[in-house]
Amino acid sequence: MLVTTRAPGLGRRDAVPNIDTRPLHHNNSAKLLTALPGQKYNVADQEKLATLLDQLGHLSLATNNTATSFNLSINRLSEIGIDTSTALEVLEYLQPDAIPDIIDAALKQKISKTLPSDAFGIATLLLYQAFPKQHPFRTPMTEMWEECEKYAPHVINFHEQFVKKGKTVEPNQQSVFCELLYNCSCYLLEQGRFDTSLEISLSAEKVCEKANIKDGGLLLADIYTIQGTVHIELNKNINTATNLFQKALEIREDAVTIGIMDPNHPNRANSFMNMGNGFSHSDPQKTIELHERAIETRRNGSRPPKREDSCLHLAVSYLCIGKCHLKLGNSDDALASFKKCLEELEVSPKGNGSLKSTVLGALGNIQIERGNMEDALISWTEAMEVSEKYFGRTHVRTAYCYYKIGWLAYKRSDYKQAIAFINLALGIYNGNLPHSTVRTEIARAKFVLALALDNTSFIEEARKNRQEARELKFSITGKIAGQEDTVQDYDNLIADHFSK
């Protein structure tokens, strides 16, 4: 299971400093190509190849001496001992935009031999070696985000070429191929690139289901888990997510039965936790029971992981239990669970910003339930500060904090501040996020913005936002909006249980 928030990686540039995040990074391609199996290259060779990639990328813009430029590029590849045809076909998988159309025509004249059939396998192996690996206990990849960001664009392009060419993965490459796509899907999920994560994980599933990977199906269970989590994050069919989590649990239970998984393995606990998340809307009590079983499994392991390896998952369970207690009206039990969540987060402060922001917001919600709006504002302001520091100011999690502070300002009759903060949230939602990912949040924010504007002179703007909110609500539910909509009506649209 992955500890995730609604996280748009495309809007998170301010939170990953000091790296080149161009869609295609020439230096990364150079490092990968100079690692072709059986060949060794030094830093100087990598720099030459990086320069060459820049030249290749500009060939299509040349109007004179194109043939000469291409010949020079081919010769320089040969100088550092890289087989031209192999390098160019591997490059097509890693970075196709670096090979203009003119090279395709020139290849027919310049390269006499058939392009190697193993270029796909080489690209698979190079990317697998370069891309960071998921932890065996499926803890978040937070500490590896910066390195993931360097190679994720190449894996995405590799996957696109795989689909486009209709490639067949050879049996000896299936395990590496599926693990590569799984690892990248995990990262993309954590970054909030949900559609791409789901696309890539579906390709991994198709290969993994037919592959002879001798792991008892555990990798396939992990892939199902990714897909289920994405379905929840995208506000899609919760039943689909629950079915995927159930399939993953059944695989792991079979693995326990045949003795290839310890009964108290963290990934078995993850299955109980994920199943609990699937029931969080329909059956809060069942969710509590499943999370308690997950906690018990983690605590009872014969060889438990280091505390810091399990604390984030324990924190997630306590957070979800607290949320369910709130739904059941047990605010005291909820408060106790949230405090346990914070205690677990204190064990390993690295990488816990997303959960800390969430639990601080949850504590704020308890204060709201108890009518302590000032204390709620303090909690939500702290949640916002943690989110800004951890994710940056263009992240959907930060946008939710802005929305909640705006809502609190509206409840305190501070309409100017309410309008300012809700517009901050809408700026993020409407900025760099796929509309389908956040349309429920947009509908809710526009509705509350209209309520705040009703108390100003901007009556026409209030009417426009209310109408847009209702139209979005209709597009989501298919039901005609009533004349007396409430904020709760729009809260009910949000499937993500971290954003209530």
Q: Where do we find the tokens 């007396």?
A: 484
- At residue 438 the predicted structure's pLDDT band, cuts being 50, 70 and 90, is confident
- Digit-coded pLDDT (tens) for 327-383: 898 999 999 999 999 988 887 666 566 788 989 999 999 999 889 999 999 999 999
Domain boundaries, the chain: 26-125, 396-500
Q: Which residue has the higher pLDDT, 198 or 311?
A: 198
Task: State residue 121's pLDDT score.
Answer: 81
What is the arithmetic mean of pLDDT over 47-56? 52
What is the arithmetic mean of pLDDT over 256-264? 89
Average of per-residue pLDDT values in the chain? 77
Task: State residue 170's pLDDT score.
Answer: 86
CB atoms under 10 Å from CB of 329, counted, come to 9
pLDDT of residue 45 exceeding 70, the answer is no
What is the arithmetic mean of pLDDT over 313-325? 91
What is the arithmetic mean of pLDDT over 80-106? 56
Dihedral angle, C-alpha 357, 359, 363, 368, nearest 10 °: 70
- E strand segments, 433-477: none
- Digit-coded pLDDT (tens) for 183-226: 999 999 888 788 899 999 999 999 998 888 888 889 999 999 99
pLDDT of residue 408 exceeding 60, the answer is yes
Per-residue burial over 335-362, b = 16 or more CB atoms within 10 Å of its CB, e = otherwise: bebbebbbebbebbeebbbbbbbbbbbb
Amino acid at 332: D
Task: State residue 83's pLDDT score.
Answer: 57
Dihedral angle, C-alpha 354, 360, 366, 367, nearest 10 °: -150
CATH number of this structure's domain 396-500, picked from the four choices 1.25.40, 2.50.20, 3.40.1350, 1.20.140 = 1.25.40
